[in-house]
């Protein structure tokens, strides 16, 4: 069950109940290597134990879900409502780590803009942990935040363009709020 309850009765807030099948990745398979890489990117401390023989990685495969959005707003969802099945999944997975490494090595300023402007996250030291067709996961120590793209990517080649546009838009919004001229204050971003 997923949700973000606030004050008062937690059942008064929207929630999603997922029914999933757990599938274990076979050690040594390409799927296992990709899942382990993504897990360690998001949980860097796991590098100490992710390779141990008794450490297994499972994928939760959503089968159906129940969305309760509040009184009179209940919906049954099937797998097609929950998953993105398109060529971009494999295409982006093939280039994801190089994009992550590049962003974390050369564009920490842009990542800070994504975290602070788009996710309204506080603090410093944000880095990219993962990309998918819908957005990116950012981490700073034990904190994690999600930044959604303005619209889902249709092809992996769109990633660079979307990241540049988001950095420019975020910087412009920050500069507008402080009264600075965007053209005078922006750093050059070549991703």
108 with 151, same domain?
yes
33 with 114, same domain?
no
Instruction: Using the predicted structure, report yes or no on whether residue 181 has a pLDDT greater than 60.
Output: no
Q: What is the pLDDT of residues 19-49, one digit of tens each?
A: 999 999 999 999 999 999 999 998 888 988 9
Q: Which residues does 55 contact at the CB level (< 8 Å), separation at least 6?
A: 49
R_g of the chain, CA atoms, integer Å: 19
135 with 92, same domain?
yes
| Helix (H) or strand (E) segment spanning residue 74 | strand 74-78
Show which of 57, 82, 107 is a domain's final residue: 82
Question: Mean per-residue pLDDT for 163-181?
Answer: 81
CATH of the domain at 111: 3.20.180.10
Total domains in the fold of the chain: 2
Nearest to 67 by CA among 80, 57, 54, 76: 76
> Is the residue at 46 inside a domain?
yes
Q: Which residues does 7 contact at the CB level (< 8 Å), separation at least 6?
A: none
Question: Mean per-residue pLDDT for 112-123?
Answer: 94
Please, which pLDDT band fits residue 191 given cuts at 50, 70 and 90? very low
**pTM of the full structure:** 0.76
């Amino acid at each position: 069950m997923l949700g973000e309850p606030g004050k008062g009765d937690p059942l008064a807030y929207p929630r999603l109940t997922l029914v999933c099948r757990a599938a274990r990745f076979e050690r040594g398979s390409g799927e296992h290597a990709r899942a382990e890489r993504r897990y360690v990117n998001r949980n860097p401390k796991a590098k100490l134990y992710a390779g141990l023989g008794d450490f297994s990685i499972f994928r939760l495969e959503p089968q159906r879900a129940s969305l309760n959005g509040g009184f009179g707003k209940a919906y049954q969802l099937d797998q097609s409502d929950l998953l993105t099945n398109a060529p971009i999944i494999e295409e982006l997975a093939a280039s994801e780590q190089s994009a992550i490494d590049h962003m974390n090595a050369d564009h920490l300023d842009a990542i800070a803009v994504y975290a602070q402007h788009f996710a309204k996250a506080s603090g410093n030291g944000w880095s990219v942990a993962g990309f998918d067709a819908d957005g990116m996961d950012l981490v700073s120590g034990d904190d994690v935040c999600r930044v959604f793209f303005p619209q889902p990517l249709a092809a992996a080649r769109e990633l660079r363009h979307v990241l540049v546009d988001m950095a420019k838009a975020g910087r412009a919004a920050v500069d507008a709020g402080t009264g600075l001229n965007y053209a005078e204050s922006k750093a050059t971003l070549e991703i």
